[in-house]
Structure 1
Amino acid sequence: MTELLDQGAAAIAAAVRTGKTRARDVAEMAIARVEARNGQLTAIVDFDPAEARASADAVDARRKQGFDGAILGVPYTVKDTTWVQGRTVTNGSLLYKDFKPPRDAVAVERLKAAGGIFLGMTNTPEMAAKGHTENKVYGPSRHPMNPALTPGGSSGGAAAALAAGFSPIALGTDGGGSGRRPASHCGVVGLKTSAGAIPSPFGFGGAYGPLYGVTAPMGRTVADSKVAFEVMAGPDRRDPHSVALLDIPPPASPRVAVSPRLGLGVAVDPDVMAAFEAAVARLRAAGWRIEEADVAWPEETSETAFAAVNSSASALLYGRHQAADGELFGDNISGLIERGRSVPGTDVVAAFRFADACARSVAQFFTEYDYLLTPTTTCVSWPVEQVYPKVIENREVGPRGHAAFTPLFNLALVPGISIPCGTGRDGLPVGMQIVAPRLHDRPLLAMAQRAEMALA
Structure 2
Amino acid sequence: MTKPTHSAREIAAAVTAGRMTAVDTAKAALGRIDAAKALNAVVTTDPARTLADAAAVDDRLRAGETMPLAGVPILVKDNIWASGWRITQGSRLFADFIAPQDAIAIERLRKAGAVIVGIGATSEFASKGVTTSPLYGPTRHPLDPALTPGGSSGGPATAVAAGLVPLAIGTDAGGSSRRPPAHVGVAGFKPSYGAIPYGPGFAEPFFGLSVIAPIAADVADIALAFEAMAGADPRDPDAAGIAQEAEDIAGLRIAFSPRLGLDVAVDDVVANGLVSAVARLSAAGLSIALRDPTWPAGATEEALMPLQHAGLAALHGDAFRKDPTVFDPDIARQIERGLSWSGADVAGALVASAAIANAFAAFFAEVDLLLTPTVPCVAWPFTQLGPDMIGGRAASPRAHAVFTPFVNHARLPAISLPCGTDARGLPFGLQIIARRGQDRTLLRAARHIEAQLQA
Match of 1:10 in 2: 9
2:98 to 88, 100, 107: 100
2:431 to 433, 438, 444: 433
What are the residue-to-residue correspondences of 1:134-283 with 2, within 5 Å? 134-209=132-207, 211-251=208-248, 252-283=250-281
Deviations 1:158-212 (A, max 9, x none): 0000001111111100000000000100111110110101112311132032x31
- Distance in 2 between the 1:260 and 1:156 partners? 25
2:375 to 335, 359, 377: 377
- Distance in 2 between the 1:225 and 1:266 partners? 30
- Distance in 2 between the 1:383 and 1:250 partners? 42
- Distance in 1 between the 2:313 and 2:288 partners? 44
Aligned AA for 1:322?
A: F
Structure 1, unpaired ranges of 5+ = none
TM-score of the superposition, structure 2-length normalised? 0.97
> How many equivalent pairs are there?
452
What are the residue-to-residue correspondences of 1:11-410 with 2, within 5 Å? 11-37=10-36, 39-209=37-207, 211-251=208-248, 252-410=250-408
How far 1:308 moved relative to its partner?
A: 1.1
How far 1:344 moved relative to its partner?
A: 1.4
- Distance in 2 between the 1:235 and 1:205 partners? 20
- Distance in 2 between the 1:426 and 1:10 partners? 31
The alignment partner of 1:327 has SS state of helix
- Distance in 2 between the 1:155 and 1:397 partners? 22
How far 1:250 moved relative to its partner?
A: 2.7
- Distance in 2 between the 1:424 and 1:205 partners? 39
- Distance in 2 between the 1:201 and 1:291 partners? 39
- Distance in 1 between the 2:232 and 2:365 partners? 26
The alignment partner of 2:56 has SS state of helix
How far 1:390 moved relative to its partner?
A: 2.6
Match of 1:413 in 2: 411
- Distance in 1 between the 2:180 and 2:393 partners? 22
Aligned AA for 1:237?
A: P
The answer to whether the Cα contact below 8 Å between 2:22 and 2:54 also exists between their aligned partners in 1 is yes
- Distance in 2 between the 1:267 and 1:118 partners? 39
The answer to whether the Cα contact below 8 Å between 1:45 and 1:122 also exists between their aligned partners in 2 is yes
The answer to whether the Cα contact below 8 Å between 2:203 and 2:315 also exists between their aligned partners in 1 is no
Q: Which runs of 4+ in 1 moved over 6 A?
A: none
Aligned AA for 2:368?
A: D
Aligned AA for 1:79?
A: K
TM-score of the superposition, structure 1-length normalised? 0.97
Aligned AA for 1:185?
A: H
The answer to whether the Cα contact below 8 Å between 2:257 and 2:372 also exists between their aligned partners in 1 is yes
- Distance in 1 between the 2:160 and 2:395 partners? 29
Structure 1 stretch displaced more, 244-253 or 347-356: 244-253
How far 1:285 moved relative to its partner?
A: 1.0
The answer to whether the Cα contact below 8 Å between 1:180 and 1:376 also exists between their aligned partners in 2 is yes
- Distance in 1 between the 2:259 and 2:253 partners? 19
How far 1:278 moved relative to its partner?
A: 1.2
The answer to whether the Cα contact below 8 Å between 1:276 and 1:430 also exists between their aligned partners in 2 is no
- Distance in 2 between the 1:67 and 1:411 partners? 40
The alignment partner of 1:218 has SS state of strand
Aligned AA for 2:402?
A: A
Deviations 1:273-324 (A, max 9, x none): 1211111111111111111111111111112221111111222111110111
The answer to whether the Cα contact below 8 Å between 1:6 and 1:168 also exists between their aligned partners in 2 is no
Structure 1 stretch displaced more, 169-178 or 382-391: 382-391
